[in-house]
């Protein structure tokens, strides 16, 4: 199962992403800027999508 998580580069992402991954599945982190991609991967995301919660089209793409 693939999960999309908001705040993949945020303050607590390094706690949340690994804890969720422990239950199985692929963690896709949502970040608002391309330059945050590597940070989300460092926090434990398997995949990263760039999008904005205010932009429905970017969320549709992020949900892939």
- Does residue 48 register a pLDDT over 90? yes
Residues 28 and 45: beta-carbon distance below 8 Å: yes
pLDDT score, position 24? 87
Domain of 30, CATH number, reads 3.40.50.720
| DSSP 8-class letter at 8 | T
SS3 assignment, position 33:
coil
Question: Residue 7: which domain range?
Answer: 2-63
| CA pair distance 5, 30, nearest whole angstrom | 6
Return the pLDDT at 25: 84
How many distinct structural domains can be found in the chain? 1
**Predicted confidence (pLDDT) per residue in 9-44, tens digit:** 999 999 988 998 898 889 999 999 999 999 999 999
Distance CA 16, CA 59 (A): 20
Local structure of 64: helix, strand or coil: coil
């Amino acid at each position: 199962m693939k999960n999309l998580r908001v705040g993949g580069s945020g303050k607590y992402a390094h706690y949340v992403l690994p804890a969720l991954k422990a239950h199985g599945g692929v963690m896709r982190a949502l970040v608002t800027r391309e330059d945050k991609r590597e940070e989300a991967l460092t926090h434990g995301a398997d995949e990263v999508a760039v999008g904005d919660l205010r932009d429905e089209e970017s969320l549709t793409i992020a949900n892939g």
